[in-house]
């Protein structure tokens, strides 16, 4: 259930402690080598190999059931590995329990002890480690000050807002000074406004201390805003590993193109691929009902089934029918089915005249109004081959 924002929402600290006083351990890189996880006859993760460099914010992104939480739990030690290796800081940790991996987990529901105060919740891990009382007090003071909640030390979790509970859970994870912090959908219980504010807090803390953060999310905007590295997963496999900018500009597969946004995807067969000066190929595809479309990417053999995609904001919309055009400027005719004003951006839903394929175009509302777009109008959609991404699979 969403919890409304705490309107006072104090800053993390006007003079936050330095990373050396709060977190003395260096961040660690994480690697998976041919990791497989099976539950009886069901394979949740299959032959997964991944490198997460030390000190970055990595998001495992994908739909429910794709294996991202299983991967996170294998790294943390809360799930065993059926085969393959999990390495933290270059050391295989397959046989180490979670408590010995120098990692910390922040769970989706925060898992705060309802009968303990904020102070006791944050102190708990240090107490279990047998740390002397004086050092525990110093550590807890520092971390509560860091997250801006030292004034809540005597309260119980139910007396805090959702955002405050989230930061207490983060403080409890950070106070043990882990090399890797793992977060399982940490913002899912918050309302939209607070989600945006709290992801800013997460990113600020990660940058401040240079820790390795690995977060599971199915929220595309969240992954784009937080990550240095995004790992897109599908049915227990990795479809693409990229920076947010790379993923946005060049999805590697039809699944990724669909999952990360409203890309317009056209399936067809490769006719030919012509090398270009920039090292890319100009690829000509035959799309049934539409004809030739041009895309850029790494080509493949003529006759191969493939696809191309273009983002809705990269289309140009013109009133009137499209003329036949076999140049690298792609042109098709479509009929407007809906014009939706969403604020600064207007979304225009269309159907391709020749095939009936649903399409989407987005443009500035001021431009949409100047075009006087209406449902039922026939328009031309045009886009450059350079804006059209070739999808080999």
Hey, is 367 helix, strand or coil? helix
Q: What is the pLDDT of residue 20?
A: 40
**Span 69-88, pLDDT tens digits:** 999 999 999 999 999 999 99
Q: Verify that 234 and 350 share a domain, yes or no.
A: no
Range(s) of the domain holding residue 317: 262-391
Asked whether residue 254 is assigned to any structural domain, the reply reads no
For the chain, the first-to-last Cα distance in angstroms comes to 38
Q: How far apart are CA 28 and CA 59, in angstroms?
A: 16
Q: Is residue 363 part of a domain?
A: yes
- How far apart (Å, rounded) are the C-alpha atoms in residues 299 and 318? 30
Q: Do residues 238 and 278 both lie within one domain?
A: no
| Residues β-bridged to residue 316 | 382
Is 161 or 234 the better-scoring residue by pLDDT? 234
Residues 310 and 197 in one domain: no
Instruction: Name the pTM for this structure.
Output: 0.84
Same domain, yes or no: 145 and 93: yes
Task: Identify whether residues 363 and 310 lie together within a single domain.
Answer: yes
**Residue that is last in its domain, among 199, 222, 249:** 249
pLDDT tops 50 at residue 322: no
Domain annotation covers residue 325: yes
Looking up residue 84, the CATH number of its domain turns out to be 3.40.50.300
**Beta-carbon neighbour count of residue 371 at 10 Å?**
16
C-alpha span between 63 and 237 (Å, rounded): 12
Q: What share of the chain is helix, strand, coil (3-state, %, to 5)?
A: 30, 35, 35
Instruction: Give the per-residue pLDDT at 328.
Output: 58
Query: Can you tell me the mean pLDDT for 32-55?
Result: 96
Nearest CA-CA partner of 363 in 384, 381, 389: 381
Examine the domain organization and report whether 99 and 201 are in the same domain.
yes
How do residues 80-133 score in pLDDT, each as one tens digit?
A: 999 999 999 999 999 999 988 989 988 877 788 899 999 999 998 888 888 898
Task: Return d(Cα 166, Cα 12) in angstroms, integer.
Answer: 13
Q: Which of 217, 249, 281 is the last residue of a domain?
A: 249
335: β partners: 351, 378
CB 168 within 8 A of CB 122: yes
Residue 34 in any domain: the answer is yes
Same domain for 39 and 162, yes or no, is yes
83-88/229-234 β-pairing: unpaired
What is the band of 25 on the pLDDT scale with cuts at 50, 70, 90? low
Question: What is the mean pLDDT of the segment spanning 200-219?
Answer: 88
Enumerate residues 6+ apart whose C-beta is below 8 A from 95.
none
Summarised one tens digit per residue, pLDDT across range 177-186 is: 899 999 988 8
Q: How far is CA 11 from the centre of its chain?
A: 25
Say which CATH number the domain at 387 has: 2.40.50.100
Q: Is residue 153 part of a domain?
A: yes
Is pLDDT above 80 for 324? no
Q: What's the domain count of the chain?
A: 2
pLDDT, tens digit, for every residue of 353-375?
999 999 999 999 999 899 999 99
Residues 23 and 146 in one domain: yes
Is residue 267 domain-shared with residue 245, that is, in the same domain? no
- Among 192, 146, 158, which Cα is nearest to 10's? 146
């Amino acid at each position: 259930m969403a919890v409304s924002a705490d309107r006072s929402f104090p800053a993390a600290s006007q003079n936050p402690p330095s990373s050396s006083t709060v977190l003395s351990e260096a961040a660690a890189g994480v690697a998976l080598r041919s990791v497989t996880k099976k539950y009886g006859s069901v394979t949740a993760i299959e032959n997964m190999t991944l490198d997460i460099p030390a000190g970055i914010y990595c998001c495992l992104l994908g739909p429910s059931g794709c294996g991202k939480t299983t991967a996170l739990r294998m790294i943390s030690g809360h799930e065993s590995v059926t085969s393959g290796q999990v390495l933290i800081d270059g050391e295989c940790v397959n046989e180490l329990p979670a408590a010995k991996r120098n990692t910390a987990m922040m769970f989706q529901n925060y898992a705060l002890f309802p009968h303990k105060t904020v102070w006791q919740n944050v102190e708990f891990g240090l107490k279990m480690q047998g740390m002397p009382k004086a050092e525990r007090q110093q550590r807890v003071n520092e971390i509560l000050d860091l997250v801006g909640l030292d004034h809540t030390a005597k309260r119980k979790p139910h007396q805090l807002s959702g955002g405050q509970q989230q930061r207490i859970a983060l403080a409890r994870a950070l106070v043990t000074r882990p090399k890797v912090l793992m977060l399982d959908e940490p913002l899912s219980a918050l309302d939209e406004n607070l989600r945006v504010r709290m992801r800013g807090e997460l990113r600020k803390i990660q940058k401040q201390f240079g820790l390795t953060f690995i977060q599971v999310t199915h929220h595309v905007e969240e992954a784009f805003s937080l990550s240095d590295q995004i790992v897109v997963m599908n049915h227990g496999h990795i479809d693409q590993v990229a920076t947010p900018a790379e993923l946005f500009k060049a999805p590697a597969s039809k699944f990724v193109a669909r999952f990360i946004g409203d890309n317009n995807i056209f399936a067809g067969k490769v006719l030919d691929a012509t090398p270009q000066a920039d090292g890319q190929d100009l690829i000509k595809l035959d799309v049934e009902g539409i004809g030739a479309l041009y895309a850029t990417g790494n080509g493949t053999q003529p006759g191969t089934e493939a696809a191309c995609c273009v983002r809705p904001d990269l289309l140009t919309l013109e009133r009137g029918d499209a003329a036949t055009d076999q140049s690298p400027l792609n042109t098709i005719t479509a009929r407007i089915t809906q014009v939706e004003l969403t604020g600064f951006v207007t979304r225009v839903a269309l159907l391709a005249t020749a095939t009936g394929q649903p399409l989407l175009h987005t443009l500035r509302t001021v431009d949409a109004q100047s075009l006087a777009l209406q449902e039922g109008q026939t328009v031309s959609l045009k886009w450059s081959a350079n804006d059209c991404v070739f999808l080999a699979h």
